[in-house]
Chains A and B, each alone.
Chain A
Amino acid sequence: MSGFMRGNVALMGKIFILAMVTAILSLLTEHAFVQKEYAIGSFILFAIIALNFTYLTKFSIPLKFFVPGILFFIAFVIAPIIFTLSMSTYHYQTGNILGKDESTAQVLALGAEPDAAGTTFDINIGKTTSGEDAILVSDIVNNKYFISTQTSRTEVPIDALTLNADKVATGAQGFTLLSADALSKSDAYSKINYKYMGKYYIAIEGQNVGAVFQQSLSYNAADKTIRNVVTGAIYKDNGRGNWAKVGAPDEMLTPGWRAPIWFENYTKLITDPKVRTPLIKVFIWTVIFAGMSVLSTFALGLLLALALNRKLRGRRIYRSILILPYAMPSVMSILIWAGMFDTEFGAINNILHTHIAWFSDANYARGAVLLVNLWLGFPYFYLICSGSLQAIPTELQEAAAIDGANPRQIFRKITLPLLLQILSPLLIASFAFNFNNFNLIYLLTGGGPRETLDGQIAGATDILISYTYQIAFGNNTQDFGLASAISVLIFVLVASISMYGLKKSKVLETFG
């Protein structure tokens, strides 16, 4: 093997793989730059350079080991975190999703008003001889016919036209009708403003109808305002991602864009009661939920471990059955439990002979969540505790017994403190895990019950992470800025808890 590793075959293999990877990534970079995705394109370019440099030079041996890992880590862990951090300083929600240029373009496009008479024409959609999108307009009132493109308008004499009985043109020389198939394939032609007269243009209203519009909003690059030429109103960038009317800041043009508002999302968490009150409620429940889950699973696990911590008939069978809930894929178990709590047909109401709507009442729903989490989590602590109990030296317990301590005293004064000392990092890790136990809440109750009619986003069983998900991806306004700010807050909380746990377990001291 060592000969193989050193030989020319290995070298050629290495170069071959490197060349393949480089080729694929180069192709991707090119595509990315063509689509103007500069950040992603630059990163892939960086990856190409890093890979080739690492494996073709002898610059650094450790680098050869972790370059692929680090590249993945940067792309899918560090980049999203940085992105989340930056999103949290933006006014970034439904209605303010686009970039500024894109949103201003849409505002201007939407700022059109029909002319005073509400003129409409019969039209045909097609192309000119030069292949430009065009419409053939029949102004039957004035007996005029013309072909309009985005930039020009050409009158067509009657003898160059094909008219139908209503005097509507159905064809003209130098004009090719678009087939129905071509019409259905693309809608680019419908977004064009076809030239009419002066500031007026024709927009396609229906399959054969065009209406006369005028551009009511115009952008003034000199003082960076938008002016409504019809009403004379002036709109200014309000610094929060919208064009707002001067003198009436609540009158804004839509859509807006994502705009930096620095720490406003964070101050909102503290000062805005509409955000703060549900957040505090959710936070309290999150702590209770995580705390109760750790306590209940640990207590039951420990009890079982103590009960089975000796030679007992059937111990192996017990053990196999007891860890089944842990061995099951948790997604499946949670969905199964959700079915069991069904009001009408669920097994739980069936056995209890009750008719409780488990997930419609806040307290029942919370109880159900804790019960299911106990089922899912106790085997873990049972396994851990049985292992740890055997690791506690028996001498201590024997010495205590000789000194006349009864079993209960031995457990309380010796076994439990030792056990807690060994397991405290795991208890903290378990707390941190449950603090973010998204799957359980999302799949079991969906965070509910919640009063959706009142516009409430926080449900009774929502924990911080499922609440954040609701804010970002829920059915109401999707507020990525606020959700990102809460994400950062959760991260700080969880990281502090975990760091505390690690400090206690002295893992940090072993670095280096």
Chain B
Amino acid sequence: MNSWVRENLWRHALAISICLFSLFPLYLVVLSSLSTGGSLHLTSFVPTEISFNNFKYLFSSPKIPYLHWVQNSLVISTTVAISSVVIGAASAFAFSRLKFKGKKFGIQLLLLVQMFPAILALSAVYVIMERVYKFAPSIGLGSQTGLILVYLGGSMGVNIWLLKGFVDSIPAELDEAAKIDGASAVQTYWLIFIPLASPVLAVVCLLSFIGTFNEFILARLFLVEMNGRTVAVGLQQFIGGQYSQNWGPFAAGSILASIPIVIIFLSLQKYIVNGLTAGSVKG
């Protein structure tokens, strides 16, 4: 046994077997989406013939308004991602760079409250939005605007905290220099901070996009109408435990919905991972 084998064989063996573990469900879904029938039952793990019927079904069947769902998911996630970064960045800047009374208390409150899992306040949010519906149906329970507001508000604590983590890691020398030169806080923010932080803001924006895209339970409570659902809720309701019947179209739908997210993630993995470590808990 030569040294290469001794040193590297186990590494390749391990990596390959775990890769197979990673790929297995994904391979299965791709296979199912390309099979002719809609059944979950697979006769063989090697494709015998390829058909796009399941994909066609997605875009033509009235039972599953897939395009509407995708559009809803994109609109909701994009709005939430951009708005939360715009609002959150300003707050994070204030908490990180400006001096004011009650700052320490504010940060501690923020830290404590963002640990309150959003799902636990679910019934409270539900009741509040039900009341809002009574006087303003367009932003209350059942509306996408209402859902966006809830997402935006609900993620504010986490987002400010996350952004503050990033902002702290940007060297303060530049904006201190700007201050010495007589720049106001607002000028420092727009002219020094925003250009410096824009890559970081973009990453937080994408994280927020992915998080919203993945959110399930609020969307399910809020969006009752078939055409108003998000992809996650729509597909979950569509499959409705009936895995054997609706599997093919479900597989196709979940692949199409996942591809953009996977691409975003893979292309930005370096930044996202840094963000996850720095933001969730500063090491």
Please judge, given known A-B contacts A329-B213, A336-B25, whether A66 and B262 are in contact too, CB under 8 Å.
Answer: no
Q: Is B216 an interface residue (CB 8 A)?
A: yes
How many chain B residues touch A (CB < 8 A): the figure is 102
Q: Kindly list chain B residues whose C-beta atoms are within 8 Å of the C-beta of A141.
A: none
CB interface residues, A 334-392, toward B, < 8 Å: 335-340, 342, 344-347, 350, 375, 378-380, 383-384, 387
Q: Kindly list chain A residues whose C-beta atoms are within 8 Å of the C-beta of B168.
A: 510
B152–A339 contact, CB under 8 A? no
CB interface residues, A 457-474, toward B, < 8 Å: 465, 468-469, 472-473
Q: Is A70 an interface residue (CB 8 A)?
A: yes
Q: Kindly list chain A residues whose C-beta atoms are within 8 Å of the C-beta of B18.
A: 300, 304, 322, 378
* Interface locus among B37-45, B49-57, B64-72: B37-45
Indicate the member of B104, B124, B134, B239 with the most A CB atoms within 10 Å. B124
> A70 CA to B153 CA in the complex, in Å?
9
Q: Kindly list chain A residues whose C-beta atoms are within 8 Å of the C-beta of B74.
A: none
B191–A1 contact, CB under 8 A? yes
Q: Is B177 an interface residue (CB 8 A)?
A: no
Q: Is A103 an interface residue (CB 8 A)?
A: no
A380–B15 contact, CB under 8 A? no
> A69 CA to B159 CA in the complex, in Å?
10
Checking B22, B95, B108, B189 against A321 with a beta-carbon cut-off of 8 angstroms, the contacting residue is B22
Q: How large is the interface on A (under 10, 10 to 19, 20 to 34, 35 or more residues)?
A: 35 or more
Please give me the residue from chain B that is nearest to A387 by CB atom.
B273
* Interface locus among A188-196, A213-221, A438-446: A438-446
A87–B124 contact, CB under 8 A? yes
Q: Is B46 an interface residue (CB 8 A)?
A: no
Q: Kindly list chain B residues whose C-beta atoms are within 8 Å of the C-beta of A234.
A: none
* Interface locus among A173-181, A261-269, A493-501: A493-501
Checking A62, A465, A483 against B98 with a beta-carbon cut-off of 8 angstroms, the contacting residue is A62
B261–A505 contact, CB under 8 A? no
Q: Is B125 an interface residue (CB 8 A)?
A: yes
> A335 CA to B249 CA in the complex, in Å?
13
B120–A490 contact, CB under 8 A? yes
Checking A322, A345, A484, A491 against B115 with a beta-carbon cut-off of 8 angstroms, the contacting residue is A491
Q: Kindly list chain B residues whose C-beta atoms are within 8 Å of the C-beta of A346.
A: 40, 243
Q: Is B11 an interface residue (CB 8 A)?
A: yes
> A490 CA to B213 CA in the complex, in Å?
26
Given A422-B283, A473-B122, 15 more A-B residue pairs with CB atoms under 8 Å apart are A40-B131, A61-B98, A64-B186, A66-B90, A77-B113, A80-B125, A83-B127, A84-B121, A318-B19, A325-B22, A339-B243, A346-B40, A375-B21, A490-B117, A505-B281
5 cross-chain pairs, A with B, having the tightest CB-CB distances, nearest first: A76-B153, A69-B91, A80-B121, A65-B94, A327-B265
